[in-house]
Amino acid sequence: MKPGFVYETYAPYTRHEKVCDVVFRGGEFFNVYTGEWLHGDVACQNGVIVGIGSYEGKEIVDCQGKKLVPGFIDAHLHMESTLVAPHQLVENAVQFGTTTYIVDPHEAANVSGKAGIDYLLEDTEGVPANVYLMMPSCVPATSFEDNGAVFSAQDMAGYLGHPRVLGLGEVMDYPAVENGQPDMMEKLALFSGRMIDGHAPNLSEQQLQLYRLAGIRTDHEASGFAYACQEVRNGLQVLIGEGSAARHLDEIVKGIVQSGIRPDSFCFCTDDKHIQDIRREGHISYHIRRSIELGLRPEDAIRMATLHAARTYGLDHLGAIRVGAQADIVILDDLAKVSIAKVYYQGKNVRDFSYQGVVPPSELTHTLHVKPVRPEQLVLRCDGESDVIEVLPGELLTKHRRICLPQVDGIFVPNATYNKIAVVERHRATGKVGTGAIVGFGIRGGAIASSVSHDSHNLIVIGDNDKDILLALTELARMGGGYCITGGGTVKESLPLRIMGLMSERPHDEVDKQVKKMTALAYAMGVSPGISPFTTLSFMALPVIPELRVTARGIFDVVTFEFCK
């Protein structure tokens, strides 16, 4: 919208020549620019704030005794990780005050390419929130991955003019940046001058400098304050990730508070968060509340959730309560607790919106093409020490261990301590199966499996015996994708995820209930406390997060960037 058009349209309301649609009256509103809490009516017309002061409106929203803050912004997330259709994520998360979502659709793109991206755009077209997409930069995540599609710079070019496409999504393939690989350089050049997100766990100082030199401007993989500061010093905006598995907020925010460092270079994001966790603890509202509990000034926490993110992504019309900004407003009963009374999107209560979403096309609900796994394909030989993945509670990072595994005649025999992990290619029925050993997960008397396994989303399973592992894989194929837990030779619980093997067509409350039930069962079967069973499982196949992962081709060492022999 051109500035002149905005002025000509809304100036009569600002000058009191016309009565506004909606006026928020009686509360204190937060000025994100000065850090002040101010009094005054907030007047809105056609979803835009047109005046602050004393105004009349056709509708008066009584905010007496309340605090008004801008709508919250999730600076980086994968909608597919909520397990429900995109519009259902918004329907839930917006109730917690998140009115803007910066989405990287690389999960959908890795399965279904352009069709998956288009589905996310279409399903969020009419939701009561601002949903923006970043074009997925690494589809596949690495050159050796067995995923469902390739998404090139040429494919991205057609989206450059889309009003809801902001830039290039997280650049996970650091070696491609460092080595100047042509396809990566083409993508970076295509988005030169636009926003480019990063994915930079544990890079050296020089590597971070090369990363920033390439035009990459954010990272959400900092798990500690020292590394986050190193990124900030190199000009990166740190998106503090707090989802269902990776929980980095406490350490980073404690560091901000204790060091007194300026919080301007920090925002909040969920990255990957299940629907039941959103409903249980909140969305970006949780980040704000927890940061305040850790000693961060409420005003700084709110800025990190609003203004900082808006500025990072060039969304000047969002992230503030000011004249000319979009009227996305959260009304709080209690600031410290981030207790939400009402949420408004474009000047309308989000509870007044009704949206059903779109029906996913058939090509997105029939994406599993998997060759049945033979028992001998699960055999893992282990003469002497073997490369073993160690799971770390509250982390997506793993440790590379060299361990003498339990064995009979040189063949690994899994147990409750040393589980077996396997990944099965599911896009082209190639029959590829990669196996390994994992410690720290702890399932006993069965297996847990999923078709959600970042980023290629092949079938992944962890168990303490081959019989239940094979049964779980068979059940996933039968359902067309989903979650499954087996034990004693039977399917104990399952959840179909037919949309690309990533999301359910069922209502969010049904999905929430079933995931809660399956998570409780996983813990009852020994999965270690501090580990999110399905989310942790899903990341064990992503060969861009150190130190060890397993793919359909075998165990991969992310540090040396080569397969273990």
CB 472 within 8 Å of CB 482: no
For residue 46 the two structure tokens come to: 């056609």
pLDDT value of position 223: 86
pLDDT value of position 335: 97
Query: pLDDT band at residue 1, thresholds of 50, 70 and 90?
Result: very low
Range list of β-strands (E), 118-206: 130-135, 165-171, 195-198
Give CA torsion, residues 330, 336, 340, 344, to 10 deg: 0
> Among residues of the chain, what percentage have pLDDT more than 90?
87
523-561 tens-digit pLDDT: 999 998 889 899 899 999 988 889 999 999 999 999 998
**Cα–Cα distance measured from residue 479 to residue 440, given in angstroms and rounded to the nearest whole number:** 29
Burial of 404 by CB count in 10 Å (0-12 exposed, 13-18 middle, 19+ buried)? exposed
Q: Which fold has domain 71-316?
A: TIM Barrel (3.20.20)
**Cα–Cα distance measured from residue 111 to residue 427, given in angstroms and rounded to the nearest whole number:** 8
Closest CA to 476 of 451, 458, 453: 451
Query: End-to-end distance of the chain based on CA atoms, in angstroms?
Result: 58
**Sole residue written with tokens 């589905």:** 119
Chain centroid, CA 509 distance in Å: 20
CB 288 within 8 Å of CB 302: yes
In the predicted structure, residue 274 carries a pLDDT above the cut 50: yes
* Count of alpha carbons within 13 angstroms of residue 412, beta-carbon side: 31
In the predicted structure, residue 374 carries a pLDDT above the cut 80: yes
Mean pLDDT of 455-463: 96
What is the pTM (predicted TM-score) of this model? 0.91
171-181 tens-digit pLDDT: 988 889 999 99
State the DSSP code for 503: B
Element (H, E) at 299: helix 298-305
Q: Where are the domains of the chain?
A: 71-316, 364-563
State the DSSP code for 80: G
Mean pLDDT of 248-252: 94
